[in-house]
Amino acid sequence: MSFKIFGTQDTGPVADAVKSHWVDTRLPAWARPYARLARWERPIGWWLLLWPCWWSAALAAIDSGAPWPNPWHLALFLIGAVAMRGAGCTFNDLVDEEIDAKVERTRSRPIPAGQVSRGQAKLFLAVQALVGAAVLVQFNLFTIVLGLASLLVVAIYPFMKRFTDWPQLFLGFAFSWGALMGWAAAFGRLDWAPILLYAGGIAWTIGYDTIYAHQDKEDDAMVGVRSTARLFGTWTKPALGILYGLATGLFMLAAALVDAGPFAFAGLALGALHLLWQIIVLDIDDPDQCLRLFRSNTTYGWIVFIGLCAEAVISAV
């Protein structure tokens, strides 16, 4: 059964969405298409955007001798990650409407499925961007300018799949930007530690999004969408080994630059084992497993963050 309220039409959940999510069971029918545009039923996206912010804030705490990351900054980054991930997804869906309509997994997204019009999607994009702007202006001027600079990367990312086999690299540029923001919010400047954290985040992002992209490789080949999943093919596992190994090494260098102790490195080592597990069990021809492994990077984020926070607490004692 569909509903037409305020111009939207609820034709049902997106194909790969979390089943029986509160978006589909508790929101009014008119609001569900907007929530699906923002991917509220798939929180993995904003977690992946949030982790570099929180890691960077934790690194800053270790460097400054604070016992924990600034709680106000953590809260702002959380709100900003949800808003800007939603805005990014809405923009991406506006750009990719014709492609999404040709891919089995994405043709049920709100725009190609007719749940919202392009005009409604653009208005919703503006509302989410305003929330992100309201968060951004809470920080110092350097961080505000740095945050605005990220919009260039966000704007070009959806087009990269048409021109390069490395769209995941540009996703890494965008999704890892928080590695710079957390440090900038604390100190009003950048140093080598957050820059190395950012570089490691890019490698990590390419890795996990390559796993994600294997879900669509057949459809992508038919419609001409390019990705590292198609580029790496049967060499995906060795490629992931290089990418995840590079990410781990860069994260450890960033931790070393702030004189982090054993708890930080223990977290990174446990996280590396989690990434190794992803590589070992990966079946690139099993879309459901690829999605589960992709989502498991939330666990990786928690492991690293807890290790950094434990180090901040112990170092401050």
Each residue's pLDDT tens digit, 125-146: 999 999 999 999 999 999 999 9
CA distances from 40 to 82, 106, 206, 287, 303 (A): 8, 16, 23, 21, 23
Cα 126 to Cα 168: distance, rounded to the nearest angstrom: 25
Position 6 scores a pLDDT of 57
Residue-wise burial string across 243-268, b where 16 or more C-beta atoms lie within 10 A, e elsewhere? bbbbbbbbbbebbebbebeebbbebb
Position 4 scores a pLDDT of 46
pTM: 0.91
Q: What is the pLDDT of residues 264-317, one digit of tens each?
A: 999 999 999 999 999 999 999 999 999 999 999 999 999 999 999 999 999 988
Mean pLDDT, residues 23-27 taken together: 84
